[in-house]
Structure 1
Amino acid sequence: MTGDVELLEALRGALMAEGWCAVPRYHEVPGRLRVWHPSNPVVGETVNVACERDGLWFRSSTGALMARRHDIPGAVAYVERELGALVRPHAPV
């Protein structure tokens, strides 16, 4: 599990640098990272590390493969793409 925690911690740091909140839930099996945006803490994502045939991946709570373990920017982009429009306030029209 140590490798998973290291990967999730790297993702956590990258997400927090982009303004997301990320709380580790490493006591759960598998270890997870709960992610949400401060503008809407009700909507979020839970990420874990999945071992697939072609290696380790970040996996969303829906089971979608977000990005390979080396692709932290890709995992952040997945969160931005999937959650960004749902949680960020929209400018008035």
Structure 2
Amino acid sequence: MRTLPASPVLDAWRARRRLDRLARALRARGWVAEPRYADLPPLLRVYAREVPAIGDSVLAVRHLDGWWFRSGTGVLLGPCAHAGFAAERVGLLLTPWVVAALTGREGRKPGER
């Protein structure tokens, strides 16, 4: 998909509005969602409270067919009009990493031998 040119300030404002909606959907699903709006582009830092070192930075980007949420890895998570769907996709991407961190590489919980 091609990103459209636009006013950076106006696009940043629109992106923050969309990221706020995604943050509410993520929090409802148990994730921590911290806005990082001081710089451009605005980001939403998403992680599990138990493993704050593992997470993703989500952006809202404008494309020819509308606004989309995009993972920091470049994966399109879903249209911004469907924040709940995008929140589920974030969960699908992060859950295996969180589980691995909590259980250890060999499937053991921390402290188990």
Superposed pair shares fold, TM > 0.5:
yes
1:84 equivalent to 2:95? Answer yes
Q: Secondary structure at the match of 1:79?
A: helix
Equivalent positions of 1:24-39 (< 5 A) are 24-39=35-50
- Per-residue CA deviation, residues 15-71 of structure 1 (Å, 9 max, x unaligned), is 111111111111111100000001211110000111112111001001111100101
Q: Equivalent residue for 1:44? A: 55
Equivalent positions of 1:47-86 (< 5 A) are 47-86=58-97
In the TM superposition, residue 12 of structure 1 has moved relative to its aligned partner by 0.6
- Per-residue CA deviation, residues 61-86 of structure 1 (Å, 9 max, x unaligned), is 01111100101111111111100122
Q: Equivalent residue for 2:30? A: 19
Alpha-carbon distance between aligned partners in 2 of 1:26 and 1:52, rounded to the nearest angstrom: 20
CA RMSD across the alignment:
1.5
Structure 2 counterpart of 1:44, one-letter code: G
- Runs of 4 or more, structure 1, over 2 Å off, are 88-92
Alpha-carbon distance between aligned partners in 2 of 1:85 and 1:39, rounded to the nearest angstrom: 14
Alpha-carbon distance between aligned partners in 2 of 1:36 and 1:68, rounded to the nearest angstrom: 21
Q: Secondary structure at the match of 2:40?
A: coil
1:9 equivalent to 2:26? Answer no
Could you say which structure has the larger radius of gyration?
Answer: 2
Identity of aligned residues (%): 34
TM-score (normalizing by structure 1): 0.89
Higher strand share: 1
List gaps (5 residues or longer) in structure 2.
1-11, 109-113
